[in-house]
Structure 1
Amino acid sequence: MAPTLSRRRVLALGAAAGLGPLLGACGDGGSSSSNGSTGPVKLPTYKPVTAATPDLAAEPAGVSPGYFTYPTASSAASQPVQGEAVTALTYTYDPIAPALGSNPYWQNLNDKLGTELKITYVASADYKSRVATTIAGGDLPDMVAIQGVVQQMPAMLKTTFTDLTEYLSGDAVLAYPNLAGLPTDAWRSVVYDQRIWGIPVPRARIGTVLYTRADLLAKAGLSLQPTSWDEFKQMAAALTDERAGRWAFGQIPFNTILEMNGITGNWPGGAGAWQAKDGVFTHTGTTPQFTQALQDTVELVKSGVIHPDQAGAPNTKRNQWMLAGTTSFTIGLYAGWGKFYGQAKDVPGFRLTGMLSPTRDGTGTRVRTPGPTLSSFTAIAKTDDANRIKQILQVLNWLCSPFGSSEYLALRYGVEGQTFNRNGSDPTLTEGGRSQTLLPVRYLAEASPVIYEPGNRQAVQDQYDHQVAGVPLAVPDPTLGLYSETVASKAASEQQELDSVLLEIQLGNKPVSAWQPAIKQFMDRVGNKIKAEYEEQAGR
């Protein structure tokens, strides 16, 4: 167990780190990344680790490897960990798994790991307040998952968690081979004030996807990849038949239209909404291209190709529309690709692809918004016990065991014949296994993503092709590795107000001209301060 914090220390921490509203602004984790400066820090040496040769190679850089079947010969990837139990606090997006006493998957995990892993977790929506309460209570578990950015982030980390720089910087990370296999960009987001504060939970670099019902487009005789804004509109019109209850889109494809106009970043929310050249930062909302994208969006909405109930509809409803063929497109994170196939098992001919944004006029260079480098990172509660730190890092190293290893099989599927069976070489969870494996160890640490859809070779190929085409187009987020206190403490309410104006314009309730005073107000209140903070760090 990590050392207990005294009440006086907690109060001091609250004053230094702004723990009243502890987790102020947040996002997916990758968009609001790190530090004061990563300059002098030597990031962990990258040394890829694999336990099985992929069917589709991880090329070009940033593309995930693809596997058509699960490797038949799993190999051990790391040694079991010894020592006392390790405690952890993390989050989940799924229902609660059975407790340890009635969970053979968890029991097997501890047996394989060689020590007891005690996990406490709550729903992601409640996680921010749980972390704040835990820190204020003064008794931290050994490991804590950190989502997003908090006020006075560097001070909070320095006061509460262990500086891992000497254990992970440069070649030091090679003592933990699976951690060395994590991508370099993910590590950038755990560096604050030139120190390494945790283990990143990496994500595929492809980011948000305009999911496409390829079978419906093929039936309509349409290309899966339009080459211009005009062709995009024509395609949308061809897929829309209001009398038949069919529309092209389940929501406004604003980010797609932004990319057509050469702008990257996720809107609404403004995550990643900065461009930089020669150290000078520009908010994309202030550019003429953004205004053009707004005009294009209003035109698309007025054309009637978007589901009339899209405003306020949850993602689950939009996904249902697409699965039913009510719409042909929906927008979602890449991590959800495989879930569609599980939900569409009874849909005849179902095929899913991802559409890339063309350029507006069909010429020039296409761009793409990169995905977040990580979903969260795991920090170790403050301790000076080097042996304990190394043991916890060994646990995290084990949890990052690569696809195809025996450890990965235990992490994802559990015990053969009990929590999973084989269909050929592919593991298939049993009914009990589906609930037991909901234990969220993957939100503490996991290996770099791979593409694997059991029994669905086409799905693997389609995801891989989408990554190969899209990853090289990604424009790096210039704020990666930078920290803005204004973003953490003041920007959320201003961004919400800006987003409300954006939506009203998109729906036709306000003219496009309303954007200029709105973005000026945002810049005057917080944007120019954020710009200055980023430029100061970038210039170091």
Structure 2
Amino acid sequence: MTGTVSRRRFLGITGTLGAMGLVAACSPTPGGSPPRPAATGGGGAALLPTYQPFDTFPPDLTSGNPGVSPGYFTYPDPPTAVTSRVPASGGPIRALTFTYDPVAPEMSNNALWQSINEALGTDLDLEYTPAAEYDARFATTIAGNDLPDVVAVKGQQQQMPKMLAAKFSDLTELLSGDAVLDYPHLAALPTPSWRSTVYDGRIWGVPVPRSLIGTVLYTRADILERAGLSLQPGSLEEFTEMAKALTDEREGRWAFGQTPLTVLLETNGVANTWSVDDAGVFTFNGRLPGYEQALADAVALNDLGVVHPDGNAAQNTQRNEWMMAGTTAFQIGNYAGWPKFYLQGAGIDGFRLTGMLSPAREEGGTMVRTAGPAASHFSAVAAQDDPERLAEILRVLDWLAAPFGSTEYITRRFGKEGETFTLDGPDPVLTPEGVNQATLPVRYITENSPVIFESQNERAVRDQFDHQEAGLELTVPNPTEGLYSEAAASEGASALQALTATEQEILLGNQPVADWAAAVESYMSAVGNKIKAEYEEAWAQLDG
């Protein structure tokens, strides 16, 4: 990796944490993708697109922290068209992506999809697979000769820079600096989200931006309030007592649907998978005393019986159902999934959902928090012979990123008024047919800068906003954001699988915590030391 961005600027742009908790952070989670290094290859701030946010639709809630998403109590009235021309007039645009939702009806039976195509001026021929199957589909696609026009690049791949250069369009001259202003909706995407698209100092795609808040300890606030419990414990001891108070095995109630290791790591001061000192020496955080202490704390919670007995072997969808049914009071999940819980909780009397921050170990101690990457993934454009075709594809991507408050956003997310959505005041609301059709995963190609909006639910908007504002103040920069490790991409998965297997066995009580240190050293010998060396080499190339 080569580059000229300084370490100070590097961390300032990043401003997020990466993975924490090997099981939680390095395996797929619903609504998002596995946290990963946002390999940029350098190039400095001048390489990144100029940021030009939309100010047409002022929000109801704003923060002095630019990482906090703006909050809207109602949809802007009236919505405004922000696209000056129909984006396309040529042949269909093929796009390959993935989904975490059920398959949407085909285009011929999907009015929402048809509305998008009408607005685009061409057919968006969308191909997609379940997220869990996408790696195999991506590999097959790259190996073949029939590459779609747009391809979602999810996670790091082996020989990533070479693969991108061989198969995809270099977008640097079209999107770097002020050039992006020709695509104003792309220019409104947050600067940190673009860093995941840059390899060897070139821009290779358009990001799918996400809120920096990352993983959330979802909390059934209504259950805690009825039990007279605080929504934010001040120490591990209070957190533990809270869990005991929420658990009644005879009544079929437990505090947690899974062992909350991600919370306990933060409680013990462990943020990110790697850390770096002032000399540029990287440390795998599994070696930190706090990591082993977090495992011991997790085992202690399990022994108290506050975790659902089937929880650590269950799927996340099952754990979500437990929380919504009141069987458990907490659930760990990605922030992007927050809105779906309001839909599921619409019929629950007094339902309220909040996010709890990981408490300090001792009352008054330091709190830290892990945030997610600024982009879920990015969409690359296949190599094009015709510059006008490339510009047309970028105009389509620009339309798909139209901001909240626009008529384009309504078409993209809600479709056709009277058929797939109706208006409740100024707010678009999907019809039953629209709910089914809106699973079309256009948002996994690209989308607008994140906002907080829950129709007719001001408290929900405030709860999410407050959680982001409090949580992002505690984030610790992740030093591996922006660094590419070939060893991590090509060899890391198998070695990590063995390490996470040991972690899981410890959490299940099948191995002692004392086994962790040896498992970490095996991981370091297998691949961790290579990754460490590559990160240190890349870090050293950042100027001082």
Q: Which stretch shifts more, 127-136 or 249-258?
A: 127-136
- Are the aligned partners of 1:368 and 1:474 in contact in 2 as well (CA < 8 Å)? yes
Asked whether 1:33 is paired with 2:49, we answer no
Q: Which stretch shifts more, 440-449 or 292-301?
A: 292-301
Distance in 1 of aligned mates of 2:299 and 2:73: 42
- Are the aligned partners of 1:190 and 1:196 in contact in 2 as well (CA < 8 Å)? yes
Distance in 1 of aligned mates of 2:231 and 2:433: 39
**Structure 1 counterpart of 2:135:** 128
**Structure 2 counterpart of 1:341:** 342
Distance in 2 of aligned mates of 1:463 and 1:40: 30
Match of 1:98 among 96, 105, 110: 105
User: TM-score normalised to the size of structure 1?
Assistant: 0.91
Distance in 1 of aligned mates of 2:526 and 2:324: 43
Distance in 1 of aligned mates of 2:39 and 2:379: 14
- Are the aligned partners of 1:26 and 1:32 in contact in 2 as well (CA < 8 Å)? no
Shift of 1:122: 2.0
Distance in 2 of aligned mates of 1:50 and 1:315: 38
Query: Aligned to 1:311, what secondary structure does the other structure show?
Result: helix
Distance in 2 of aligned mates of 1:109 and 1:64: 26
**Structure 2 counterpart of 1:275:** 275
- Are the aligned partners of 2:94 and 2:150 in contact in 1 as well (CA < 8 Å)? yes
Query: Aligned to 1:88, what secondary structure does the other structure show?
Result: strand
Distance in 2 of aligned mates of 1:42 and 1:68: 36
Once the two structures are superposed, residues 170-223 of structure 1 have per-residue CA deviations (whole angstroms, 9 ceiling, x without a partner) of 111111111111111111111111111000001111111001111111111111
- Are the aligned partners of 1:210 and 1:329 in contact in 2 as well (CA < 8 Å)? yes
Asked whether 1:53 is paired with 2:61, we answer no
Q: Relative to 1, partners in 2 of residues 1:196 and 1:219: Cα closer, same or farther, differing over 3 Å?
A: same
Distance in 2 of aligned mates of 1:38 and 1:31: 20
Query: Aligned to 2:376, what secondary structure does the other structure show?
Result: strand
**Structure 1 counterpart of 2:83:** 78
**Structure 1 counterpart of 2:383:** 382
Query: Aligned to 1:513, what secondary structure does the other structure show?
Result: helix
- Are the aligned partners of 2:283 and 2:532 in contact in 1 as well (CA < 8 Å)? yes
- Are the aligned partners of 1:32 and 1:483 in contact in 2 as well (CA < 8 Å)? yes
Asked whether 1:419 is paired with 2:425, we answer no
Asked whether 1:150 is paired with 2:151, we answer no
Q: Relative to 1, partners in 2 of residues 1:408 and 1:180: Cα closer, same or farther, differing over 3 Å?
A: same
- Are the aligned partners of 1:420 and 1:433 in contact in 2 as well (CA < 8 Å)? yes
Distance in 2 of aligned mates of 1:90 and 1:180: 22
Distance in 2 of aligned mates of 1:362 and 1:40: 40
Once the two structures are superposed, residues 321-342 of structure 1 have per-residue CA deviations (whole angstroms, 9 ceiling, x without a partner) of 1112111111111111111111
**Structure 1 counterpart of 2:68:** 63
Q: Relative to 1, partners in 2 of residues 1:126 and 1:413: Cα closer, same or farther, differing over 3 Å?
A: same
Shift of 1:50: 4.2
**Structure 1 counterpart of 2:167:** 160
- Are the aligned partners of 1:81 and 1:113 in contact in 2 as well (CA < 8 Å)? yes
Match of 1:179 among 179, 183, 186: 186
Percent pairwise identity: 56
Q: Relative to 1, partners in 2 of residues 1:410 and 1:380: Cα closer, same or farther, differing over 3 Å?
A: same
In structure 1, runs of 5+ residues without a counterpart are: 1-24, 266-272
Shift of 1:78: 1.7
**Structure 2 counterpart of 1:499:** 500
In structure 2, runs of 5+ residues without a counterpart are: 1-25
Q: Relative to 1, partners in 2 of residues 1:120 and 1:507: Cα closer, same or farther, differing over 3 Å?
A: closer
CA RMSD of aligned residues (A): 1.6
| Letter aligned with residue 49 of structure 1 | F
Distance in 1 of aligned mates of 2:77 and 2:277: 49
Query: Aligned to 1:454, what secondary structure does the other structure show?
Result: coil
Matches for 1:23-422 after TM superposition, within 5 Å? 28=33, 30-39=35-44, 42-79=47-84, 80-85=86-91, 86-265=93-272, 273-278=273-278, 279-422=280-423
Q: Relative to 1, partners in 2 of residues 1:498 and 1:111: Cα closer, same or farther, differing over 3 Å?
A: same
- Are the aligned partners of 2:232 and 2:357 in contact in 1 as well (CA < 8 Å)? yes
- Are the aligned partners of 1:29 and 1:374 in contact in 2 as well (CA < 8 Å)? no
- Are the aligned partners of 1:37 and 1:538 in contact in 2 as well (CA < 8 Å)? no
Asked whether 1:533 is paired with 2:544, we answer no
Q: Which stretch shifts more, 442-451 or 31-40?
A: 31-40
Shift of 1:64: 0.6
**Structure 2 counterpart of 1:19:** none
Shift of 1:59: 3.5
Shift of 1:239: 1.1
- Are the aligned partners of 1:483 and 1:534 in contact in 2 as well (CA < 8 Å)? yes
Shift of 1:296: 1.4
- Are the aligned partners of 2:88 and 2:395 in contact in 1 as well (CA < 8 Å)? no
Once the two structures are superposed, residues 117-143 of structure 1 have per-residue CA deviations (whole angstroms, 9 ceiling, x without a partner) of 222222222222222222222011211
Distance in 2 of aligned mates of 1:287 and 1:421: 54
Deviating runs (4+, > 6 A) in structure 1? none
Aligned residues: 509
**Structure 1 counterpart of 2:11:** none
Q: Which stretch shifts more, 356-365 or 390-399?
A: 356-365
Query: Aligned to 1:402, what secondary structure does the other structure show?
Result: coil
Distance in 2 of aligned mates of 1:125 and 1:175: 36
Shift of 1:58: 4.4
Shift of 1:372: 2.0
- Are the aligned partners of 1:504 and 1:510 in contact in 2 as well (CA < 8 Å)? yes
Once the two structures are superposed, residues 243-300 of structure 1 have per-residue CA deviations (whole angstroms, 9 ceiling, x without a partner) of 22211111000010100111123xxxxxxx1112222211110111112212211211
Once the two structures are superposed, residues 41-83 of structure 1 have per-residue CA deviations (whole angstroms, 9 ceiling, x without a partner) of 6211111124411111144210111111112211111222133
Distance in 1 of aligned mates of 2:145 and 2:158: 19
User: TM-score normalised to the size of structure 2?
Assistant: 0.91
Shift of 1:303: 1.2
**Structure 2 counterpart of 1:20:** none
Distance in 2 of aligned mates of 1:320 and 1:516: 35
Shift of 1:498: 0.7
Distance in 1 of aligned mates of 2:136 and 2:374: 24
- Are the aligned partners of 2:78 and 2:426 in contact in 1 as well (CA < 8 Å)? no
Distance in 2 of aligned mates of 1:71 and 1:37: 38
Query: Aligned to 1:237, what secondary structure does the other structure show?
Result: helix
Q: Which stretch shifts more, 76-85 or 246-255?
A: 76-85
Distance in 2 of aligned mates of 1:306 and 1:108: 46
Distance in 2 of aligned mates of 1:311 and 1:91: 26
Matches for 1:484-523 after TM superposition, within 5 Å? 484-523=485-524
Shift of 1:376: 1.6
Shift of 1:40: 7.8
| Letter aligned with residue 208 of structure 2 | V
Query: Aligned to 1:401, what secondary structure does the other structure show?
Result: coil
Shift of 1:462: 0.6
Distance in 2 of aligned mates of 1:539 and 1:26: 29
Q: Relative to 1, partners in 2 of residues 1:384 and 1:517: Cα closer, same or farther, differing over 3 Å?
A: same
